């Protein structure tokens, strides 16, 4: 064991490690013994020398180590068997979701919450997309690539590590084919029996917002319980919520997005599911303006969906982000018919569920709409949140019913 570099913590700074939180911040560290390379395996010890955990060293990040194992000091979590077992466990947990064949895309590995900090693996049918987000997983990329091919037998293993968080680890963006055939321009997937085209090279995240699957299904259910609903799908991307709403029997859908390309793909997704384009209106524009215009045109809807991109990237952004969330929620609330439903989301980790509810409350108060919470939403179950890692919960949503 002595061959591995050691991190020695300050006195009384070992609590989060003992509670198995996977992030060790630089402020807790008294000294580092040895010269760990980025991503190197390190042993974490308390100030009095007791072994606490194994982690991967990140020289550049405030998160100085990502912890992976709390077993005794003689158990060295470096061999392929250790990572194969972690991957197998994560992949097996998703099998029920994929079992009946009506869903062919999901997140297979959700990083910290699946015990593999910094590794995201998404499946789109035969195409598997991977993101290496930490120095630890990036240093072991060859091993993970091999294990993923061995365990998943994909036609394609493609990398989309073109994300900002890599900068904090001093890693450059990386993208491209890792194994197998080049991915097709459009990968066709099924989600709850509905068809979508996914561009894994250029699409957002790894191509699709898999984390909203369960919430899209909720919208379908809510529409199905009503008759001839009109839907405003704000921040529509490639029309995920629109397709589900039409599957539930919506009479008309209005999509709003700044991206003409996303709206174009949304059209293709309608056609894939046999829905008539005549019932769907696309508005290319900034939601903050478009929602105001719709109000001045005296438009109203039975269901409004608000699924904006991340507004708060750090704690320092929270105030500004809160104003943004409040504004769009005010605009959305004004557009709802009495008895209508607002499905409103925030995917900013820095905005807590509690704060988000307060923001929506403030919005309703300001526009004088009386509303009730009739549902709470989070990310889909293939994006689990380890109890040791509450930071893993980033997506939160409220279903609000407009009383009057
Ligand atoms: N609901 C979608 C995901 C939304 S992602 C789904 O289920 O798949 C957020 C979307 O908001 C992106 O498509 C992005 O192009 C769009 N967007 C970002 N800023 C915007 C703005 N100010 N107005 C309208 N759309 C915006």
**Of 259, 258, 223, the residue nearest 243 (C-alpha):** 223
What pLDDT shows up at residue 73? 84
What pLDDT shows up at residue 232? 98
Distance 344 CA to ligand 1 centre (A): 13
Q: Give the residues across from 56 on adjacent strands.
A: 41, 66
Query: Which of 237, 268, 323 to probe ligand 1 with, by most ligand atoms within 8 A of CB?
Result: 237
Please confirm, yes or no, whether 347 is among the known catalytic residues. yes
**Rounded Cα–Cα distance for residues 285 and 318 (Å):** 25
Protein residue with its CA nearest to atom 9 in ligand 1: 309
What pLDDT shows up at residue 227? 82
**Rounded Cα–Cα distance for residues 347 and 39 (Å):** 28
Distance 355 CA to ligand 1 centre (A): 22
| Pocket lining: 259 vs ligand 1, CB cutoff 6 Å | yes
| Pocket lining: 287 vs ligand 1, CB cutoff 6 Å | yes
| Pocket lining: 307 vs ligand 1, CB cutoff 6 Å | yes
Protein residue with its CA nearest to atom 15 in ligand 1: 259
What pLDDT shows up at residue 3? 86
Protein residue with its CA nearest to atom 22 in ligand 1: 286
Q: Quick one: three-class SS letters along the chain?
A: CCCCCEEEECCCCCHHHHCCCCEEEHHHEEEEECCCCCCCEEEEECCCCCEEEEEEECCCCCEEEEEEECCCCCCCCCCHHHHHHHHHHHHHHCHHHHCCCCCCEEEEEEHHHHCCCCEEEEEECCEEEEEECCHHHHHCHHHHHHHHHHHHCCCEEEEEECCCHHHHCCCCCEEEEEEECCCCCCEEEEECCEEEEECCCCCCCCCCCHHHHHHHHHHHHHHHCCCCCEEEEECCCCCHHHHHHHHCCCCEEEEEECCHHHHHHHHHHHHHCCCCHHHEEEEECCHHHHHHHHHHCCCCEEEEEECCCCCCCCHHHHHHHHHHHHHHHHHHHHCEEEEEEEEEEECCCCCCHHHHHHHHHHHHHHCCCCEEEEEEEECCCCCCCCCCCHHHCCCEEEEEEECC
Q: Which atom of ligand 1 is nearest to the CA of 235?
A: 11
Contact 154, 148 (CB under 8 A): yes
What pLDDT shows up at residue 43? 97
**Of 400, 397, 380, 399, the residue nearest 192 (C-alpha):** 380
> What values do phi and psi take at 18, rounded to 5?
-65, -30
| Pocket lining: 211 vs ligand 1, CB cutoff 6 Å | no
Mean pLDDT by 10 residues, the chain (404 residues): 88 97 98 97 97 96 97 88 97 98 98 98 98 97 98 98 91 97 98 98 97 98 94 98 98 98 98 96 98 98 98 93 98 97 97 97 98 98 98 97 91
Contact 84, 147 (CB under 8 A): yes
Q: pTM value?
A: 0.97
Return the exposure string of 115-129: e unless at least 16 CB atoms fall within 10 Å of the residue's CB, then b.
bbbbbbbbbbbbbbb
What dihedral do alpha carbons 324, 325, 326, 332 form, nearest 10°?
110
**Of 149, 163, 240, the residue nearest 196 (C-alpha):** 240
What pLDDT shows up at residue 175? 97
| Pocket lining: 256 vs ligand 1, CB cutoff 6 Å | yes
| Pocket lining: 257 vs ligand 1, CB cutoff 6 Å | yes
Protein residue with its CA nearest to atom 18 in ligand 1: 309
The active-site residue out of 243, 330, 347, 398 is 347
What pLDDT shows up at residue 400? 98
**Rounded Cα–Cα distance for residues 241 and 231 (Å):** 9
Distance 202 CA to ligand 1 centre (A): 15
Distance 306 CA to ligand 1 centre (A): 9
What pLDDT shows up at residue 404? 74
**Of 20, 10, 75, 76, the residue nearest 48 (C-alpha):** 10
Distance 308 CA to ligand 1 centre (A): 5
What pLDDT shows up at residue 246? 98
Protein residue with its CA nearest to atom 3 in ligand 1: 237
Query: Which of 231, 258, 348 to probe ligand 1 with, by most ligand atoms within 8 A of CB?
Result: 258
**Rounded Cα–Cα distance for residues 241 and 232 (Å):** 10
Residue found under tokens 């491209």: 176
């Amino acid at each position: 064991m002595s061959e591995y570099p050691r991190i020695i913590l300050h006195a009384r700074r070992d609590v989060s490690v003992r509670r198995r939180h996977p992030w060790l911040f630089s402020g807790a560290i008294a000294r580092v013994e040895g010269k760990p390379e980025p991503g190197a395996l390190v042993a974490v010890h308390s100030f009095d020398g007791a072994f606490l955990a194994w982690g991967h060293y990140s020289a550049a990040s405030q998160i100085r180590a990502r912890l992976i194992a709390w077993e005794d000091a003689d158990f060295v979590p470096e061999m392929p068997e250790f990572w194969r077992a972690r991957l197998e466990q994560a992949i097996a947990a998703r099998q029920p979701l994929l079992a009946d064949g009506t869903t062919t895309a999901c997140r297979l590995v959700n990083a910290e919450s699946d015990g593999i900090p910094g590794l995201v693996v998404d499946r789109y049918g035969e195409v598997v997309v991977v993101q290496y987000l930490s120095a630890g997983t990036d240093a072991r990329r060859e091993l993970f690539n091999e294990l993923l091919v061995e365990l998943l037998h994909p036609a394609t293993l493609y990398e989309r590590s073109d994300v900002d968080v890599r900068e904090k680890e001093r890693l450059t963006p990386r993208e491209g084919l890792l194994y197998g055939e080049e991915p097709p321009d459009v990968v066709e997937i099924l989600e709850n029996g509905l068809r979508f085209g996914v561009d894994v090279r250029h699409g957002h995240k790894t191509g699709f917002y898999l984390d909203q699957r369960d919430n899209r299904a909720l919208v379908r259910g809510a529409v199905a319980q009503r008759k001839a609903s009109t839907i405003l799908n704000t921040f529509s991307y490639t029309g995920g919520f629109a397709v589900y709403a039409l599957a539930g029997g919506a009479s008309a859908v209005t999509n709003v997005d700044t991206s003409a390309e996303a709206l174009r793909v949304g059209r293709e997704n309608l056609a894939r599911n046999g829905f008539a384009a005549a019932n769907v209106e696309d508005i290319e524009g900034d939601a903050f303006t478009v929602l105001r215009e719709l109000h001045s045109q005296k438009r109203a809807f039975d269901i409004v969906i608000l699924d904006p991109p991340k507004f708060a990237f750090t704690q320092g952004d929270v105030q500004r982000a809160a104003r943004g969330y409040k504004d769009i929620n005010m605009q959305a609330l004004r557009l709802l018919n009495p008895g209508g439903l607002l499905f409103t989301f925030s995917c900013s980790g820095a905005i807590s569920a509690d704060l988000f509810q307060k923001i929506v409350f403030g919005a309703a108060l300001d526009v004088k709409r009386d509303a009730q919470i009739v549902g709470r939403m989070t990310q889909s179950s293939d994006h689990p949140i380890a109890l040791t890692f509450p930071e893993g919960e980033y997506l939160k949503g409220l279903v609000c019913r407009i009383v009057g």
